[in-house]
A and B are shown apart, each in its own frame.
Chain A
């Protein structure tokens, strides 16, 4: 028996025994709720304050990115990949660029690989910083937002220096990267690497032993290692359950096998465990950045292929062939041999994959983004069941879903 008492709120009387005599209250949580990290709607059945069932409803941020990719030429698609997981654009670029390169059989020069690693790790840091700032804010640690966004702004400044854009950089492209790192970028990066470990200590001082933070996260949102694997969770969700799986180690790409770093894991299997994993990952990311900067090889940052990338500006004035290549590239684009390929990279949220199908023309036949948020969100019900509704905020927060990534 159900009664509608307001729009979207119904009272269901099931007759089960519970804190409120078996009355289940069905509540819409979201879609426009500040703690849903985007536009996520949850249909929650509450017994008193306890969650008895939960159904996520997604699609509010669906922008048809996969359809758009089919209408754009191969090199134009990069700008669209920036926009699905809007907290880690360079990592999305990387997955797409690696996929196109593997279909074309192209290997980028070592300096391009190193710059890709640098941008990936900076992005991972900025993604974790946004996560920590907003999650801290939701659970009552107001000052976290100010501290985290301070460092994130430094990273955005570096994005601007190297690519001209603060967020949607489109820096990593099939065939290499947009431009070489400027000397000022390398200086900024060096300074950042020196400062960042101290800042991570600051965050830890604020949160790790904070009694409120611990009370809100320890034992909340448990996800056992077995469940995490069965549900296909990746990233800090999986590592926070004690499974040492990181694509950078297990299936290395862009030369990650040459860097010395550890996989961050925690056996706590709860929200606090996922927090510890992210803190550790931030420290490891700084380690990788230091190694990448110290060993940054010299040389070109793009493949030397006029059929794939435009010729340098100065060549256009002297070489007829360069003009033809330039014209062909910007009117027709290049075509990619028929076939399909799947490339997965590790983003701040987990496995960020790109499945590309080419039919031999100058536009993709199909591009599928395998987004970590979409898969991780399916574990939400498992984690949130029988918790208080207030704990759902912590659980959604530490799952770190980006709804733009989820809905694409």
Chain B
């Protein structure tokens, strides 16, 4: 288990055990858990708590790591909260190889910068995309059709629609 000094908060949500750790000690916490048998990183993602009034959130972005011990089997969720523009956090791709693409996806979708990631580039969106689509302030349907400048005649101007 993670040593007590690293844990900021812990609890159970809908039957899933979770701990919150400080963003600066995320690598230590995950390394300790890995040594403890939680060898599989099931997924890694981010939650944007912009304008979320369900409780008082320490920061806007919550990075979530779900780890699994394949022997028992049991799971634990590690959370950490980060702020900033862009927000930074240490990469864990060397501890858990599947994190490589998951971190790229989280960077692509939320703009979270993973320090020391070997190839932090967009993975799902095109390389020249502007913005991070899964942020809550990124509008749904507010994007113009790609290549629209080549087909201007197809579009009806707003005043004629």
Given contacts A59-B124, A232-B40, A359-B53, whether A103 and B14 have CB atoms under 8 Å apart is yes
List A contacts of B70 (CB < 8 A): 229, 245, 250
Whether B54 and A378, one on each chain, are in contact in the complex, defined by CB atoms closer than 8 angstroms, is no
Whether B97 and A71, one on each chain, are in contact in the complex, defined by CB atoms closer than 8 angstroms, is no
Whether A341 and B15, one on each chain, are in contact in the complex, defined by CB atoms closer than 8 angstroms, is yes
Does B134 touch A at the CB level, under 8 Å?
yes
Does B42 touch A at the CB level, under 8 Å?
yes
Whether A66 and B140, one on each chain, are in contact in the complex, defined by CB atoms closer than 8 angstroms, is no
Whether A378 and B101, one on each chain, are in contact in the complex, defined by CB atoms closer than 8 angstroms, is yes
Given contacts A342-B42, A351-B42, whether A58 and B124 have CB atoms under 8 Å apart is yes
Whether B124 and A407, one on each chain, are in contact in the complex, defined by CB atoms closer than 8 angstroms, is yes
Does B22 touch A at the CB level, under 8 Å?
no
Question: 0/1 per residue, B125-141, Cβ < 8 Å to A?
Answer: 11000000110101010
Shortest 5 CB-CB contacts between residues of A and residues of B: A232-B98, A338-B54, A341-B14, A59-B124, A370-B43
List A contacts of B97 (CB < 8 A): 230-232, 378
Whether A231 and B13, one on each chain, are in contact in the complex, defined by CB atoms closer than 8 angstroms, is no
- Residues in B lying within 8 Å of A, measured CB to CB: 13-16, 18, 39-43, 45, 47-49, 52-55, 64, 66, 70, 73, 75, 77, 96-98, 100-101, 105, 109, 122-126, 133-134, 136, 138, 140
- Residues in A lying within 8 Å of B, measured CB to CB: 58-59, 62, 64, 66-68, 70-71, 102-103, 105, 229-232, 245, 250-251, 338-342, 344, 351, 353, 355, 357-360, 365-366, 368, 370, 374-375, 377-378, 407-408
A16 to B91, CA, bound (A): 33
A250 to B70, CA, bound (A): 9
Name, among A105, A359, A368, A375, the residue most crowded by chain B CB atoms within 10 Å (CB to CB).
A368
CB pairs A–B below 8 angstroms (21 shown): A66-B134, A67-B140, A70-B136, A105-B14, A229-B39, A229-B40, A231-B98, A232-B98, A339-B14, A340-B18, A340-B47, A341-B13, A341-B16, A342-B42, A342-B43, A344-B42, A355-B66, A359-B53, A370-B43, A378-B100, A408-B124
Whether A102 and B14, one on each chain, are in contact in the complex, defined by CB atoms closer than 8 angstroms, is yes
A340 to B45, CA, bound (A): 13
Whether A59 and B43, one on each chain, are in contact in the complex, defined by CB atoms closer than 8 angstroms, is no
A355 to B16, CA, bound (A): 11
Question: Dominant SS at the B interface?
Answer: loop
List B contacts of A353 (CB < 8 A): 42-43
CB distance from B152 to the nearest CB of A (A): 25
Who on chain A is nearest to B50 by CB?
A365
A229 to B55, CA, bound (A): 37
Whether B133 and A67, one on each chain, are in contact in the complex, defined by CB atoms closer than 8 angstroms, is yes
Whether B45 and A368, one on each chain, are in contact in the complex, defined by CB atoms closer than 8 angstroms, is yes
Given contacts A339-B14, A359-B54, whether A250 and B73 have CB atoms under 8 Å apart is yes
Who on chain B is nearest to A407 by CB?
B124
List A contacts of B13 (CB < 8 A): 339-341
Given contacts A339-B14, A359-B53, A368-B43, whether A62 and B125 have CB atoms under 8 Å apart is yes
A86 to B63, CA, bound (A): 28
The one of A59, A344, A366 that contacts B125, using a Cβ cutoff of 8 Å: A59
Whether B124 and A375, one on each chain, are in contact in the complex, defined by CB atoms closer than 8 angstroms, is no
Q: What 12 new A-B contacts, CB under 8 Å, besides A342-B16, A355-B64, A375-B98?
A: A59-B122, A59-B126, A67-B133, A68-B140, A105-B14, A230-B97, A232-B97, A250-B70, A340-B16, A340-B18, A340-B64, A370-B66
